[in-house]
Structure 1
């Protein structure tokens, strides 16, 4: 179930069966777009994502099937770029989508892949990203043994601050006091600029070194050497096959 709760009145103002699967789901608020992004499972346990208008929960604005994996999708939204990053628990990849105000709404952009599965994902607050290297998002991926930073950057060569990539974002100054909030007052977040102070330029990337492959000439063996090598490998294979038979017998005995 997807529920909208008014924390001031402690009441549910809207609810809908967002995804029909029995497994858990997630939902996030899409900032200035004023929509809700949900991720869950369908009847056949396929993973799905959807966009909802909180003013009309009768049906989703759009819905897409992702895949048939089993991990719960953990979404993270970047309001500045209108990009949703989705990381499935147990997956080795992180997909990201752009949210656009048109009939399609959700557009798949690309995915980041690695060899280690993630157990959880969190995001660096926008005020902490590296704007001088056009980093629009930095995720921290929790694996069974480490926490790995994953940086998403826009490939631009300009050394100047990219104001179109980094509009003002909510800073650390609160917009309301607790008393004002409890008095039903509302206020938009206090924004701050991400532009670096002073004359700071992006650090130039180290020049790429030319890759020169090392090609080794194959060693030519005589007929006698090839026959000797073949006998040695045949003997080695026979030995390994015998060892496997022994291990299978031991496993069978242990099971009995």
Structure 2
């Protein structure tokens, strides 16, 4: 009887890699708040980090490609009167960000393209209703400008941001709300509470649909919906062990619960709906654990751990639209250090092929909203609009080819300049005399004779060359340099054509290989079933 030791998974070899310090962000005054939040959020345009500020609340927003050391006087978003506790980018507009604060307000800000040039104090929406601090905000996944907020007054408000009006108020909770999350299409709302209960609501009416027991400790607990409707949570046992659990979406009955360790930091779960991968980042930990979810038992499969030496104070997670799909990145984290460093960590699947990996990148959520706020409030549900990352792959590939083409032309330009330098002119003259002038038809480039009276010079004699101050050919007359440019440009064009031909051939072979691998996997499965 054959025994399968390793489960088949295309994510089995995913590995994490920390970027060099020059490709990270340094010298940031990261907030010292004790609130259990990630303190960081990121999208393809901007990176936002909650900062320490005197006399009010502030957070930093800067272009995501502006890496390196951050100036001490960098512009900030400074409209709150107390510490900022949570921030979240709008999924349908990369320039809109919401912030929640201890001043009992939620504000929405519009960040100009290119980032801030001065401190931003004026928000586009000021959402005031909570009586105590607001610690949780979350945008609707498919409806435009719909936002939820949860405060220490044990209330949840669903906002129409465009009109700054409350659509739904949920006041059932009797203790602190630790987390609030939408399901895949935003038709359900899940909350975790200090009373150790998980609750599911209709977000339009505020009606409690079902509730169930969560983790047994009163320490913070986080919950989120899986794409298929099940519920994943992280929390603590009564004896202090950190745990993760999976619950049935219909009854909220626990399907599986596993203990990890005895650390005190809350585990922040990040769920990738496209690949069904779950990443657990513990506050104060120096590791990122990642798992794969399957609908069949045992449901949660451990893959690996990215270990580093420094503990994390907060964590940001890039959306799929901001990944480098050409390098097979499937996730990217922005880890906040106590020292003021924001470290970039990429999760990559090793692949040899340079083609687009369709199995790693199914269609993902696009930036467009599926429905308006009014349609959603009226009872309409819609899944997020999807987009293919293949367009991103092709755009990156085109930019890469243009850069490589530019490097060839730059090399040719340098060659021209070198041939024009005084130290290179003697060799240039030798090259000019040995070049085959007939191939380039260089007769039109010959300079006029220095002595007009010698116009009857026989055509078989070489024409005198205009002399510089040292008797050598001037830098402006380098026929062989022009020949070099022509040859290199022609070679570059031929190489491009050859690469295109080879990629077409390779793509055909890859399709054939994939077909054969699928057949081989089916045969292995049938063989195992027979042995069982």
TM-score (norm: length of structure 1) = 0.75
Give, in angstroms, the shift of residue 201 of structure 1: 7.4
Is 1:14 equivalent to 2:237 in the alignment? no
Q: Distance in 2 between matches of 1:148 and 1:139?
A: 8
Given the superposition, is the C-alpha separation of residues 109 and 199 from structure 1 closer, same or farther in structure 2, using an over 3 Å criterion?
closer
> Is the Cα contact below 8 Å between 1:87 and 1:94 reproduced in 2?
yes
Is 1:138 equivalent to 2:332 in the alignment? yes
Give, in angstroms, the shift of residue 101 of structure 1: 1.5
Deviations 1:232-256 (A, max 9, x none): xxxxxxxxxxxxxxxxxxxxxxxxx
Is 1:75 equivalent to 2:269 in the alignment? yes
Matches within 5 A, 1:136-215: 136-144=330-338, 145-195=340-390, 196-197=393-394, 200=397
Tell me the secondary structure at the aligned position of residue 268 of structure 2.
Answer: strand
Any unmatched runs of 5+ in structure 1? Answer: 204-256
> Is the Cα contact below 8 Å between 1:160 and 1:201 reproduced in 2?
no
> Is the Cα contact below 8 Å between 1:122 and 1:141 reproduced in 2?
yes
Tell me the secondary structure at the aligned position of residue 243 of structure 2.
Answer: strand
Given the superposition, is the C-alpha separation of residues 201 and 30 from structure 1 closer, same or farther in structure 2, using an over 3 Å criterion?
farther
Q: Distance in 2 between matches of 1:29 and 1:202?
A: 37
Name the residue aligned to 1:27.
223
Q: Distance in 2 between matches of 1:110 and 1:172?
A: 31
Name the residue aligned to 1:106.
300
Q: Distance in 2 between matches of 1:156 and 1:201?
A: 20
RMSD across aligned positions (CA): 1.8
Name the residue aligned to 2:241.
46
Q: Distance in 2 between matches of 1:120 and 1:65?
A: 22
Name the residue aligned to 1:220.
none
Deviations 1:196-229 (A, max 9, x none): 23592797xxxxxxxxxxxxxxxxxxxxxxxxxx
Name the residue aligned to 1:116.
310
Given the superposition, is the C-alpha separation of residues 45 and 178 from structure 1 closer, same or farther in structure 2, using an over 3 Å criterion?
same
Give, in angstroms, the shift of residue 11 of structure 1: 2.4
Q: Distance in 1 between matches of 2:396 and 2:304?
A: 34
Q: Distance in 1 between matches of 2:309 and 2:398?
A: 34
Bigger Rg, structure 1 or 2: 2
Q: Distance in 2 between matches of 1:194 and 1:51?
A: 30
The ranges of structure 1 where at least 4 consecutive aligned residues each deviate by more than 6 angstroms after the TM superposition are none
Tell me the secondary structure at the aligned position of residue 62 of structure 1.
Answer: strand
Give, in angstroms, the shift of residue 2 of structure 1: 1.4
Q: Distance in 1 between matches of 2:303 and 2:399?
A: 26
TM-score (norm: length of structure 2) = 0.37
Any unmatched runs of 5+ in structure 2? Answer: 1-196, 401-532
Structure with higher RCO (Cα < 8 A, 6+ apart)? 2
Name the residue aligned to 1:87.
281
Give, in angstroms, the shift of residue 141 of structure 1: 1.1
Q: Distance in 2 between matches of 1:14 and 1:190?
A: 29
Q: Distance in 2 between matches of 1:39 and 1:123?
A: 18
> Is the Cα contact below 8 Å between 1:126 and 1:169 reproduced in 2?
yes
Q: Distance in 2 between matches of 1:42 and 1:153?
A: 33
Name the residue aligned to 1:64.
258
Tell me the secondary structure at the aligned position of residue 109 of structure 1.
Answer: strand
> Is the Cα contact below 8 Å between 1:80 and 1:169 reproduced in 2?
yes
* Residues paired across the two proteins, number: 202
Name the residue aligned to 1:55.
250
Q: Distance in 2 between matches of 1:171 and 1:50?
A: 29
Tell me the secondary structure at the aligned position of residue 141 of structure 1.
Answer: strand
Tell me the secondary structure at the aligned position of residue 370 of structure 2.
Answer: coil
